[in-house]
């Protein structure tokens, strides 16, 4: 199996073949594509924090892919399986994701190899601060704007922005920009944006609505949805889909899932999970939670359910060539980053499964992060309703651009989305004279 970065490069090469004839100077286009196969830079270090048990060492990364369209932008994940190849791939996908919705960023991604559950609260804060201090001059409002990702949150961003600001003032004596604009996904009390918590999931539901429009789904209660992953993204997708009348019949977490044919209640399910610690204990419908009202299933079984829409909202590479042929859903909305391998994608296309790719479906998060950055730079904050009102047209326009290319060129949705995104980045590189 290809590693994540190899998969990202393979996707880029596939799209390049579809775009090349659109350029008069094809050698210049080829130079741009070759440049985009690797990040502009990959920063690595070993962070050391002091604990009562002695010093602990952690490998850390930051990949900055391309800034032709604006500052680098991307999350920071704390996970024991973080690799350099992974952050390189995720930074590449962030470049395309920002281009898809038209927000003026390039892509980046960071990570630390750590299981945060094994750290005390003090150790976690020390690690977050060490990472921010290490990044130093390599990030900033007009250079690279980090955000939360897997196992990071607003509190960790708050620690990071505080440490980064301290380090800059120690080094230069002053700040020329608002330090709060260096990190997004912060708590509301520290310059965060209203609506950020639910933005990724809600953005995915805007995509679901556009898909329903194209497919002529008038009876939303007949459209069944299975969601793998019930963290922040999966929950808010389920919540907003249910609120609009769609039938969410299955959700899961890392320990397994639950299937309720009549449809589950996302809010009651979340409260039950918070109380019991696992989704498999939560057989919750609109009239309450009842033991054995549903069926306990594995994550693999959830992927194979006979539903209309499958939503992978957990980690990457969960749909592979080993299980792709068993998927019965005819529509997949990717809410995780890179949940489908290239080999699986080919099988899904052959089976006429429409896959709305991650760089479009889950772009709501980075879009509201962009709104947060704009608000920080201006020192002016928008109310919740205004933030969500600004998100919807950007997601809808991005979908329409994709669908137009898909229809015009008779290509799958993934290729159409990448064609839209890659062309915007290549054009920016050419206009800047970098290739």
**Domain presence at residue 64:** yes
CATH number for the domain including 168?
3.40.50.10860
Report CA dihedral (88, 91, 95, 100) to the nearest 10 degrees.
110
Residues 382, 159: Cα–Cα separation, whole Å: 24
pLDDT tens column, 368-397: 999 999 999 999 999 999 999 999 999 999
Residues 134, 21: Cα–Cα separation, whole Å: 43
Q: What's this model's pTM, rounded to 2 decimal places?
A: 0.92
Cα-based angle 71, 77, 79 (whole degrees, multiple of 5):
160
Cα-based angle 84, 87, 92 (whole degrees, multiple of 5):
125
The per-residue pLDDT for 399 is: 98
Q: What element of type H or E holds 47?
A: strand 41-51
396 burial type by CB count under 10 A (0-12 exposed, 13-18 middle, 19+ buried): middle
**Domain presence at residue 117:** yes
**Domain presence at residue 106:** yes
**Domain presence at residue 274:** no
**Domain presence at residue 222:** no
The candidate with the shortest Cα–Cα distance to 92, out of 40, 153, 157, is 40
Count of CB atoms within 10 A of residue 424's CB?
A: 18
How do strand 72-79 and strand 41-51 relate by DSSP bridges? unpaired
Residues 275, 298: Cα–Cα separation, whole Å: 21
Residues 185, 375: Cα–Cα separation, whole Å: 12
Is the predicted pLDDT of residue 323 greater than 90, yes or no?
yes
In the numeric block, which tokens belong to residue 67? Answer: 């800034």
**Domain presence at residue 132:** yes
The per-residue pLDDT for 38 is: 98
Residues 425, 350: Cα–Cα separation, whole Å: 29
Map 377-394 to HEC letters: HHCCCCCHHHHHHHHHHH
388 burial type by CB count under 10 A (0-12 exposed, 13-18 middle, 19+ buried): buried
**Domain presence at residue 342:** no
The candidate with the shortest Cα–Cα distance to 45, out of 62, 67, 26, is 62
Tell me which of 88, 109, 273, 423 is the catalytic residue.
109
**Domain presence at residue 216:** no
Residues 78, 108: Cα–Cα separation, whole Å: 15
Is the predicted pLDDT of residue 53 greater than 90, yes or no?
no
Question: Domain of 185?
Answer: 40-193
The candidate with the shortest Cα–Cα distance to 61, out of 120, 5, 142, 125, is 5
* Range with lowest mean pLDDT among 5-14, 204-213, 256-265: 5-14
- Whether 268 sits among the annotated catalytic residues: the reply is no
pLDDT tens column, 393-428: 999 999 999 999 999 999 999 999 999 999 999 999
Mean pLDDT, residues 31-35: 98
The per-residue pLDDT for 290 is: 87
Residues 415, 383: Cα–Cα separation, whole Å: 36
Residue 48 binned pLDDT confidence (cut-offs 50, 70, 90): very high
Is the predicted pLDDT of residue 52 greater than 80, yes or no?
no
Residue 297 binned pLDDT confidence (cut-offs 50, 70, 90): very high
User: Which residues lie below 8 Å from residue 100, measured CB to CB, with a gap of 6+?
Assistant: 359, 360, 363, 398, 401, 402, 417, 420, 421
In the numeric block, which tokens belong to residue 291? Answer: 């033991």
pLDDT tens column, 109-157: 999 999 999 999 999 999 999 999 999 999 999 999 999 988 999 999 9
**Three-state SS at 58:** strand
The per-residue pLDDT for 36 is: 98
In the numeric block, which tokens belong to residue 236? Answer: 């808010």
Count of structural domains, the chain: 1
Residues of 223-258 as b/e, b for ≥16 C-beta within 10 angstroms? bbbbbbbbebbbbbbbbbbbeeebbbbbbbbeebbb
Q: Quickly tell me which residue has 């990448």 as its tokens.
A: 418
């Amino acid at each position: 199996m290809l590693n994540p970065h190899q998969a990202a490069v393979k996707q880029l090469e596939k799209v390049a073949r579809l775009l090349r004839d659109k350029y008069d100077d094809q050698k210049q286009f080829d130079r741009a594509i070759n440049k985009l196969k690797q990040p502009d830079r990959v920063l690595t270090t070993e962070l050391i924090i002091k604990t009562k048990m002695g010093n602990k060492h952690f490998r850390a990364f930051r990949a900055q892919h391309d800034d032709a369209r604006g500052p680098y932008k991307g999350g920071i994940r704390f996970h024991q399986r973080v690799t350099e190849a992974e952050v390189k791939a995720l930074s590449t996908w962030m470049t395309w994701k920002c281009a898809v919705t038209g927000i003026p960023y390039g892509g980046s991604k960071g990570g630390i190899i750590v299981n945060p559950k094994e750290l005390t609260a003090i150790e976690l804060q020390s690690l977050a601060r060490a990472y921010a201090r290490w990044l130093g001059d390599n990030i900033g409002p007009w250079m690279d704007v980090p955000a939360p990702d897997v196992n990071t949150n607003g509190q960790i961003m708050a620690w990071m922005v505080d440490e980064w600001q301290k380090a800059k003032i120690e080094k230069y004596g002053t700040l020329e920009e608002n330090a709060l604009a260096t990190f997004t996904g912060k708590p509301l009390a520290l310059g965060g944006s209203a609506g950020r918590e639910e933005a990724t999931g809600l953005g995915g539901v805007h995509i679901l609505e556009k898909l329903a429009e194209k497919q002529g789904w008038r009876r939303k209660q007949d459209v069944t949805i299975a969601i793998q992953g019930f963290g922040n993204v999966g929950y808010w997708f389920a919540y907003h889909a249910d609120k609009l009348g769609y039938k969410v019949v299955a959700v899961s977490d890392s320990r397994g899932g639950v299937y309720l044919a009549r449809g589950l209640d996302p809010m009651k399910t979340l409260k039950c999970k918070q109380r019991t610690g696992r989704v498999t204990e939560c057989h919750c419908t609109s009239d309450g939670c009842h033991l054995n009202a549903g069926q306990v299933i594995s994550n693999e079984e959830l992927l194979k359910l006979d539903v209309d829409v499958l939503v992978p909202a957990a980690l990457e590479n969960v749909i592979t060539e080993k299980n792709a042929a068993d998927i019965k859903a005819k529509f997949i909305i990717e809410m995780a980053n890179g949940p489908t391998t290239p080999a699986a994608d080919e099988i899904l296309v052959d089976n006429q499964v429409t896959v709305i790719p991650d760089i479009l479906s889950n772009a709501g998060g980075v879009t509201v992060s962009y709104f947060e950055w704009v608000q920080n730079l201006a020192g002016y904050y928008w109310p919740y309703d205004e933030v969500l009102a600004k998100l919807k047209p950007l997601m809808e326009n991005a979908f329409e651009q994709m669908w137009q290319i898909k229809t015009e060129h008779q290509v799958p949705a993934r290729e159409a989305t990448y064609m839209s995104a890659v062309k915007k980045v290549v054009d920016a590189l050419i206009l800047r004279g970098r290739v």
